[in-house]
Structure 1
Amino acid sequence: MSFFRPEAMAAVARWREVIVAAVIIALGLWIAARPGGMIVTGFGYVLIGLGAVAMVPAVRRARFITGGDGPGVVQIDEGRILFMGPETGGAMALDDLSVLSVRRTRKGDTAWVLADATQLLVIPVDASGADALFDAFAALPGLNLDRLIASVQSRAEGSQRLWARDRPQALTR
């Protein structure tokens, strides 16, 4: 039996990286504010800096996560996105990805739409394991992460193209 509601535990789990970064910053402030010489004060400032550097991606990742109670399972393995859904599924390499879009229906269902030269892969944003897509999408050259996060949080229906490859992949490298 837990003293905390499941919704509260889910919120803490979603924001856990931000909480850890905030604790590091608070510890750094506490150490820097204590009298103890330049080395101790410098260590406090280093902790503040490390916490601030860790805070930025942690906030982005926490805003990206929508939950894992949707249909399907997402797995990412060595630059390949695999989606196994109840009705559809597929796999796509990030190197083959040509267009990344987000689609919201009138009912409020939101899905990632990934396209390459031969297939279209539709992944619900709340599928189990979909939070790992943030790191995969962050590796795409020229993708605006703030726009990506805003599109997930938006309530406007329709499709929105977030990223497109500048030119097709060459046959040789």
Structure 2
Amino acid sequence: MSDFLRPAARAALWRWREVLFAAGLAVLGLWWALGSFGVVRWIGVVLVLLGAGIAFAGWQRARFRQGGQGPGVVVLDERRLVYMGPLTGGTMDVADLTRLELEPAAMPSPHWVLTGVGGQGLAIPVNAEGAEALFDVFATLPGIRSGHMLDVLERTPGARVTVWEKERTLLH
């Protein structure tokens, strides 16, 4: 059964899996909403709305995924981010994150550059294995605009771009 689809087609379907699931859920809900009556009709309307919400979230996640064939492995364990790469690596607590940047000129692929409270840095390739977990980490950062982050990732600018920076608290 695994030979039924080409590897590239299988990878594309896997990348957009949440959107495909949401579309199926919405079609089922639409069928119930238009072809039934009573409680089933209202369940269908709820399924359509739920499908639309899941489709939007899945669309954002699919735009963030980069294939997972890059160097290194990303692991998220209890709000601690760990990157194990062939040449570099490190750990950083999500709470200590002060700046998030995209470095498009890094080799062999663009890197997310995370800066911590003490100035320590962690560079993670956008296509490292497990890098899709970074979307959940980045989405929890206060004040981040996910749409801006995805636009920067898709258009790959020519120079380093600051995607998010922690708001500094002043004493006076």
TM-score when scaled to structure 1?
Answer: 0.92
Contact preservation (8 Å) 2:65, 2:132: yes
Equivalent position of 2:101 in the other structure: 101
Equivalent position of 1:58 in the other structure: 58
Question: 1:114-129 residue pairs with structure 2 within 5 A?
Answer: 114-116=114-116, 117-129=118-130
Runs of 4+ with deviation above 6 angstroms: none
Question: Structure 2 CA distance, aligned partners of 1:107 and 1:68?
Answer: 15
Distance 1:106 1:132, change over 3 A: closer
Distance 1:106 1:125, change over 3 A: closer
Partner-residue secondary structure (3-state), 1:130? coil
Contact preservation (8 Å) 1:81, 1:91: yes
Aligned AA (2:103): R
Question: 1:33-112 residue pairs with structure 2 within 5 A?
Answer: 33-34=34-35, 36-105=36-105, 109-112=109-112
Gaps of 5+ in 1: 169-173
Question: Structure 2 CA distance, aligned partners of 1:145 and 1:5?
Answer: 32
Aligned AA (1:13): W
Question: Structure 1 CA distance, aligned partners of 2:92 and 2:106?
Answer: 27
Question: Structure 2 CA distance, aligned partners of 1:145 and 1:49?
Answer: 21
Distance 1:84 1:107, change over 3 A: closer
Deviation string 1:51-89 (CA, Å, 9 cap, x unpaired) is: 111111111001100111000000001111100000000
Question: Structure 1 CA distance, aligned partners of 2:74 and 2:53?
Answer: 28
Contact preservation (8 Å) 1:80, 1:92: yes
Partner-residue secondary structure (3-state), 1:158? coil
TM-score when scaled to structure 2?
Answer: 0.92
Root-mean-square deviation (Å): 1.5
